[in-house]
């Protein structure tokens, strides 16, 4: 009996020692250095002529940081800084003057400070009368005729879909297939992943064009699990995502510099076949027997956001549109010493002769002016790729019913919650 008691006591002591050791080296649940950046207007919106201020608070282990220097620069968005200076944290706090603008647009504050060899870098953008930002892009007189002709030519090509089921990506509730579409003259193909609910019912279709570049796309069941027939595609000819890495790299190499290819003429610009091809993807989706016959959506981010707006403007079958931080907006911005949209034509270099005239036919602003379906539009203020100045320039031109969801702290990305908000909005715009 005594032996048993001694054993139990020993076990308890050992357990206590182990727990103590674990506690001694337990991982922290928060970072030692924490900071908060706010502005004196919670939504980061000001009127032209109004002075803006950025407030910073910093803590180490929950104790306010004192005596640390915060270095900063301020200036108009994507332009050279107008001023550089520093402030000192007192009781963990400091204020940075951002200044103002006489014209609608954005200013940027970049800041950094160091505590215990840890350097913090961050950026804040504030808006001045963003609802009054106007595009510098002019609508060509024959804009509609040009695109009607382009779409008519593209429609002469048999889309000839090839659909290959991919069981390894499929689930009990969603079927995934590889799709090959003949979308233009000369045998131009687009590849994508088609996902469909396995419930035997008819559903809305949702088209998702890609972001910039030519990286492999991946299938997702997210939207089909929420009741949509979903197609995400790669816009570049021959970029089959099911190729092995070596073969795909060879196809990807052919796309180098595509966003400036043929820019000297509206007839030869690379995006001409891309825009028309996206419209043909809608035609394909509407040919599926599982389509409900009424609802057609488009969504995407960055270049995909731009192509969502373009597709909705070009194809009257589209009934709702949900772009995120769209590229290719207000492409003349840098020519007027204001932030323009990706791919930032005219920012650091001259473009080919004729580029200015060509881009007027491809600027998303001009397609935004043609939208007729409801739009859910979302972006963040801290975007350094697709400037909020350029995205506001497009949004402000939309006369169709529109919903704006701005998340000021986000950059060239979106929160999961914002994506969910978009899906809920799309569901509400589905005609039953």
Q: Is the pLDDT of residue 431 over 90?
A: no
Closest alpha carbon to 197 in 230, 164, 168, 224 = 224
What's the pLDDT tens digit per position in 233-245?
A: 999 999 999 999 9
Give phi and psi for 150, each to the nearest 5.
-60, -45
Q: 4-13, 174-183, 369-378: which has the minimum mean pLDDT?
A: 4-13
Distance CA 298, CA 408 (A): 24
- Residue 194 CA to residue 175 CA, distance in Å, equals 8
Instruction: Report the half-sphere exposure of 282 (CA within 13 A, side-chain side).
Output: 29
147-159 burial by CB neighbour count: b if 16+ within 10 A, else e? beebbeebeebeb
361-374 in b/e form (b: 16+ CB < 10 A) is bbbbbbbbbbbebb
282: pLDDT strictly greater than 80: yes
Q: Which of 235, 257, 239 shows the shortest CA–CA distance to 248?
A: 239
pLDDT tens figures, 336-359: 999 999 999 999 989 999 999 999
So what's the pLDDT on residue 18? Answer: 53
Q: With 0-12 CB in 10 A as exposed, 13-18 as middle and 19+ as buried, what is 388?
A: buried
The answer to whether 203 touches 290, Cβ cutoff 8 Å, is yes
pLDDT tens column, 35-83: 999 999 999 999 999 999 999 999 999 999 999 999 999 999 999 999 9
pLDDT at position 432: 77
* Average of per-residue pLDDT values in the chain: 94
Domain 33-130 has CATH 2.60.40.2550: yes
Give one DSSP letter per residue of 116-155, joined into a string.
TTEEEEEEEEEEESGGG----PPPPTTHHHHHHHHHHHHH
Task: Average the pLDDT over 166-185 and give the result.
Answer: 95
Indicate if the pLDDT at residue 5 is higher than 60. Answer: no
pLDDT, one tens digit per residue, over 361-376 is 999 999 999 999 999 9
114 beta partners: 119
Cα–Cα distance measured from residue 268 to residue 182, given in angstroms and rounded to the nearest whole number? 19
The predicted structure's pLDDT at residue 29: 81
Confidence of residue 12 (pLDDT cuts 50, 70, 90): very low
Q: Is 302 a catalytic residue?
A: yes
The answer to whether 86 is a known catalytic residue is no
How far apart CA 176 and CA 230 sit, in angstroms, is 10
Q: What per-residue confidence (pLDDT) applies to 373?
A: 98
CA pseudo-torsion sign 405, 214, 359, 372:
negative
DSSP result, 192-218: EEEEEESSS--EEEEEE---SS-PPP-
Is omega for the bond preceding 204 within 30 degrees of 0, making it cis? no
Please enumerate in sequence order all residues whose Cβ is within 8 A of that of 126, keeping only pairs 6 or more positions apart, or say none. 39, 41, 44, 45, 46, 52, 54, 98, 106, 107, 109, 381
- Only one residue has tokens 């808006």, namely 127
Q: Which residues pair with 163 in a beta bridge?
A: 179
As assigned by CATH, the class of the 143-428 domain is alpha beta
**72 contacts 53 by C-beta, under 8 angstroms:** no
Q: What angle do CA 176, 179, 184 make, to 5 degrees?
A: 155
Alpha carbon 234 to its chain's center = 16
Residue 26: pLDDT over 80: no
- Position 20 scores a pLDDT of 56
Q: What is the pTM of this model?
A: 0.92
Statement: residue 9 has pLDDT above 60 = no
Output the pLDDT for position 400: 98
Average pLDDT over residues 402-420: 96
336 classed as catalytic: no
In a 3-state reduction of DSSP, which class is residue 86? strand
Contact 377, 397 (CB under 8 A): no
* Cβ atoms of 340 and 331 closer than 8 Å: yes
Q: Quick one: average pLDDT of 101-114?
A: 97
Q: How confident is the model at residue 14 (pLDDT cuts 50, 70, 90)?
A: low
- Which one of 224, 410, 412, 422 is the catalytic residue? 412
Tell me the domain boundaries of the chain. Answer: 33-130, 143-428
| pLDDT for position 6 | 56
Residue 24 is classified by DSSP as: H
- Per annotation, catalytic residue among 224, 302, 378, 387: 302
Catalytic residue (choose from 383, 387, 410, 422) = 383
- Say yes or no: do domains 33-130 and 143-428 share a fold: no
Cα–Cα distance, 235 to 356 (Å, whole number):
24
Could you tell me if residue 317 is left (phi over 0), alpha (psi between -120 and 50 degrees) or otherwise beta? alpha
Q: What percent of the chain has pLDDT over 90?
A: 89
Strand ranges of the sheet holding 45-46, from the earlier edge strand across to the other edge: 45-46, 118-128, 105-115, 69-76, 83-88
Q: Given this model, what pLDDT does residue 164 score?
A: 98
Chain-centroid distance of CA 56 in Å reads 27
Alpha-carbon separation of residue 212 from 39, 120, 242, 263 (angstroms): 32, 29, 19, 17
The owner of tokens 């879909």 is 161
């Amino acid at each position: 009996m005594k032996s048993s008691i001694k054993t139990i006591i020993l076990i308890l002591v050992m357990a206590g020692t182990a727990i103590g050791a674990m506690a001694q080296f337990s991982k922290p649940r928060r970072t030692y250095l924490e900071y908060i950046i706010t502005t004196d207007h919670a939504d980061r919106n000001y009127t032209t002529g109004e002075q803006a201020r950025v407030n910073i608070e910093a803590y180490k282990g929950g104790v306010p940081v004192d005596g640390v220097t915060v270095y900063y620069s301020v200036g108009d968005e994507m332009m050279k800084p107008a001023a550089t200076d520093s402030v000192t944290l007192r009781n963990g706090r400091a204020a940075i003057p951002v200044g103002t603008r006489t014209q609608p647009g954005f200013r940027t504050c970049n800041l950094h400070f160091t505590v215990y060899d840890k350097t913090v870098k961050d950026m804040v953008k504030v808006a001045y009368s963003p609802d009054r930002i106007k595009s510098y892009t002019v609508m060509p007189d024959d804009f509609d005729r040009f695109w009607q002709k382009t779409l008519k030519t593209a429609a002469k090509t048999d889309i000839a879909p090839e659909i290959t089921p991919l069981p390894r990506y499929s689930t009990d509730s969603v079927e995934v297939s590889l799709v090959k579409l003949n979308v233009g003259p000369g045998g131009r193909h687009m590849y994508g992943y088609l996902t469909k609910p396995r419930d035997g019912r008819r559903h809305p279709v949702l088209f998702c064009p890609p972001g910039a570049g030519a990286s492999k796309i991946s299938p997702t069941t997210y939207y089909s699990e929420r009741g949509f027939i979903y197609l995400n595609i790669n816009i570049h000819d021959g970029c089959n995502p099911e190729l092995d890495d070596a073969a795909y790299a060879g196809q990807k190499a052919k796309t180098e510099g595509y966003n400036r290819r043929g820019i000297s003429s509206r007839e030869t610009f690379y995006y001409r076949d891309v825009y028309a091809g996206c419209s043909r993807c809608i035609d394909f989706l509407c040919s599926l027997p599982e389509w409900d016959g009424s609802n057609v959506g488009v969504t995407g981010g960055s270049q995909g956001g731009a192509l969502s707006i373009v597709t909705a403007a070009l194809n009257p079958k589209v009934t709702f549109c949900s772009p995120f931080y769209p590229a290719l907006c207000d492409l003349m911005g840098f020519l007027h010493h204001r932030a323009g949209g990706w791919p930032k034509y005219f920012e650091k270099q001259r473009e080919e002769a004729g580029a200015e005239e060509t881009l007027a036919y491809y600027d998303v602003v001009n397609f935004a002016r043609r939208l007729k379906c409801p739009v859910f539009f979302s972006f963040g203020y801290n975007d350094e790729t697709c400037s909020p100045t350029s995205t506001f320039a497009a949004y402000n031109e939309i006369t169709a019913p529109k919903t704006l969801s701005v998340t000021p702290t986000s950059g060239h990305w979106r929160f999961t919650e914002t994506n969910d908000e978009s899906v809920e909005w799309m569901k509400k715009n589905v005609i039953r």
